[in-house]
Structure formats: structure tokens, C-alpha cells
A and B are shown apart, each in its own frame.
Chain A
């Protein structure tokens, strides 16, 4: 009994690797802060500015509501059309990218394409489209369509890869054509999840469609950026409140739609 070494009695042994990790993290934070020139004085000056800034934001100014509603409506239209187009294009591409139905020489290019669409932020894609198609909502639609393909295409492919191949085989055994195998063997298995992805993407597109205007691709973002540059902060506040409200409503609707379509999905999983 007495021979137990005192170190064995420590309930929680020190984990030196974890401690070294925390120290490395602390060192990194100090190093990065000095590199990016974060200083306390800058922070304090900023807080003063912040107080003045918030003072000027309130009360929000809704007097130019025509600009606001027009911008919001355009953002909404961009989001709807980009989601619709994105889903439409993602369906075949997601199918091509699913490795259980397609040969490798088809899935590779499809996967590369999806990865390419995913890797740029929608605002950067919007810049390229603004140059190509010009200012306006069309560039926004194009940019968000690309973003949607990157996101939904990947999820579609993953969903299709997880299906049960027994049903596909059964449909194929009846002598069904390729399209019939897809519509009766594959789609019914993934439809519920597709709806989920679609509503999620609509939600995400709605958020981004309020931003692509910063680079001139339509929607309320242009007006927001302009108001910021004119120090028109009470109007900025009004627009931000409107955007948050719109996104909130969008989220509620998306949850409702998902509830309607996923009732069966839950039963399936059990």
C-alpha cells in the first residue's frame, strides 16, 4: 500500500502534449497579433469610434423605403432564380459525379467541376461575371448559380452514393431504360434529402444575394455599400434590419418546407 508512487495518485495526469499545444497556440496568437499590428490603443480608439457609430445608426431611417424594398425584391429574385437554376444543373452533374452509378472517367471531371465551383466565394465569382455579363442582377444570378452547383452538386452526389442498390437492380431487372432506372430506382430514394438541400441552398443564396451587390451584381448590397461609403449610417441600419428580417423569414419558411417533405424521411431512417 505504501509503495504506491505519489505520481500515481494524481487523478488527472498532466498531458504534456496538450500543454505544449496550448503554449504553441498562445505563442502563435502573440506573434500573429504583432504581425497584423493589433494594439491596445488602436482597440480603445476603435471603441470610441464604435460608440459614435452606433449613436449615428439609431434610430434607423426608413424614409427611403423605395430603394430598400426594390433592392430587397431584387435580392429575393436573384436568390430564387439562382437556386432554381443551380438545382436544375446540379441534378445531372451530381448524378455524373456519383461513383456507384458512373464509371471513373465520368466522375472525375464532374467532381473537378464541382470542386472548382465550390472553391471561390460567391462574391469573387460575381466579380468575374460582372466583367463578363455587365452590372446587374444577371451577374448575381450567374454567380450564385455557380455557388449552388458547387454546394448542391456535392451533396447530391454524396446522397446518391449512399442509396441502396437493391432497388436500382430490381428496376434494372425489369428491363427498364437508363432514364427509367434513374426516375424509379434512384430519385425516389433521395428525393426527401434533395428537398432538404434545396431549401438549405435557397437560404444560403438569400444571404449571399444581399451581398453580391457590393461588386455590382444586383440586389440590395449595392445600396448598402453606397450608404456605408456616404456615412449614411441610419439608412445602413434600416437596410441591415430589413435584411436580417428577410433572412429570418426565409429560415422559417425553409424549416416548414423541410418538415412537410421529411416526415417520411424520418420514418425511413428508423
Chain B
């Protein structure tokens, strides 16, 4: 009897609702791709020309203008690193109050939490290039605009982590500090800070790595750093210098990634 019922049953991995939902997603994907292909403007002449243009580009890039490095690239590269580092520090400093405001156990007010979360989300949803455009319009072109752009873009990233880490902190130590009558500043520095420290440094390092990459392009919109050198070289069609700048960016990005992985491995 039991074998008969087993044979009669069809085994399925998903419920009909699940299958329908999955099918809807696949359908939406295919539709989106088909509609995009139909609507996108492609100029066939440009496309046919591409291999030739690509070869031409590499021919112009070779030999790489290494002689240009000391006078045109080095200073800009250092500036880029400073922009990324200062921007990350600034973001970390500003992320603290907002992160604490977003954590419900520090700020027991749902309205203030919501305001802080909104600030963090808006910081993240504006691209760093847009932040740079805004700050260039306000402070004029230069490293200040770039640094602020990096800082404002990173606040959301670091602040979200600070808020989440504070909310998830173990309450044992906090209660002990409260019990001995510690003032709120001591509770923060001796109760919460040691607990969120590892995650905090790890995320700051991770963000610094991203910021090194991002600060390299801010110069294209006037945010200072090596992007300025890239922009100048491109506008003058000096492709050998462009190649030099790209190589410098590549080297710095790789070195930054290696530094970050090494520090993470040792400390955290």
C-alpha cells in the first residue's frame, strides 16, 4: 500500500509558487536583455573600426613615457594616496556619531535612528564622482573637493557597520560598566569600543583599498590627484603618457591591495 502511494507521488524540488516566482525572474531577465538589445544605439561603423582603433591605441601607447613619471606623475600619485587616506579618516570620524545615532541601544529613539539610516543610505547611493562634482562646484577644483567626495561616499559604508556592530555588541560588559556607575563616555570607550574595534579597523582598511581606486578617477571631474594628470594627457592625445599614468595607477592599486591583505592577516 505504502509503496503504491510513493510511486504515485511526483517529487518536486520547489512548490508551484516558488517555481512561478523563479520563472517570472527568468522571464523578466530575458525581456530586459531583449528590450535593451533592441533599443541600444550602436553605430556599426564604429564597431567595425574597433580592432583597427585598438591596435592604433596600443601603438600610440608604446613606448610608455617613463621619463614623464618624475615630473608629471609622481606628485599626483602621492596626492591621490593622501586624498584616499584623509578621505577615509574623515569618513571614519564622521561615521561614528551617525553610526551611534543609528544604533537603537545607544539612541533609543526610532525617529533619530531613521534619520541616521537615511543619511547613511543617501551617502552610499550617490556615486563618488557625483560627490566630487558637487564639491568641485562648492570648493572649486582641487584635492579638497576630492577628499570630501571620498569622505562623504565612505560615511555610509563605515557608519552602517558602526551602527550594526554597536547594536550587536555583547551587553555583559556594558551592564557591568553601568553597574559600577561609569559615565556614558566611559561606557562607549571601555564597553563598546573594544568590541567593535576589530570589525571597525577591518572595514576601514577595506574601504581605504576601494578609495585608492576611486580617488584615481576623481581628477577627471576636477577632484585632484592622478586623474588630473590622466585628463591632461588625454586631452593632449599624449597616449604614451596616458599609458604611464595607467601603469602607475595599476601599480598603486595592486600595492594597496597587498598591504591591506597583509595587515588583515596579521592584525585581525
Residues on A lying within 8 angstroms of B by beta carbon are 12, 25, 28-29, 32-33, 35-38, 42-43, 46, 49-50, 53, 73-74, 76-78, 80-81, 84, 115, 119-121, 123-124, 127-128, 131-134, 136-138, 141, 207-208, 210-211, 214-215, 218, 224-225, 228, 233, 240, 243-244, 247-248, 257, 260-261, 263
Contact = CB atoms under 8 A, between A and B. Distances in A.
Contacts of A50: 138
A6 B220 CA distance: 59
B27 interface: no
Interface string B209-234: 00001101100110010000010001
Contacts of A124: 216-217, 230, 246, 249
Interface string B68-99: 00000000000100110110010000000000
A123 B86 contact: no
Given A81-B36, A137-B41, A257-B25, 9 more contacts: A76-B36, A77-B40, A132-B50, A132-B54, A134-B49, A137-B42, A240-B126, A240-B130, A243-B130
B47 A260 contact: no
Contacts, number: 150
A132 B41 contact: no
B250 A119 contact: yes
Nearest to B225: A36
Interface residue tally of chain B, by bracket? Answer: 35 or more
A214 B220 contact: yes
Q: Which applies to chain A's interface (DSSP): helix, strand, loop or mixed? A: helix
B5 interface: no
Contact of A225 (B22, B133, B250): B133
Contacts of B8: none
A50 B145 CA distance: 12
Interface of B: 18, 21-22, 25, 29, 32-33, 35-37, 39-43, 46-47, 49-50, 53-54, 57, 79, 82-83, 85-86, 89, 122, 125-127, 129-130, 133-134, 137-140, 142-144, 147, 190, 213-214, 216-217, 220-221, 224, 230, 234, 246, 249-250, 253-254
Contacts of B140: 46, 49
B138 A133 contact: no
30 contacts: A25-B89, A32-B85, A36-B79, A36-B83, A36-B143, A36-B147, A38-B144, A38-B147, A42-B139, A43-B144, A46-B140, A49-B139, A119-B250, A120-B246, A120-B253, A123-B129, A124-B246, A127-B234, A132-B54, A134-B46, A136-B41, A137-B40, A141-B40, A210-B127, A211-B127, A211-B129, A214-B129, A215-B220, A233-B137, A260-B21
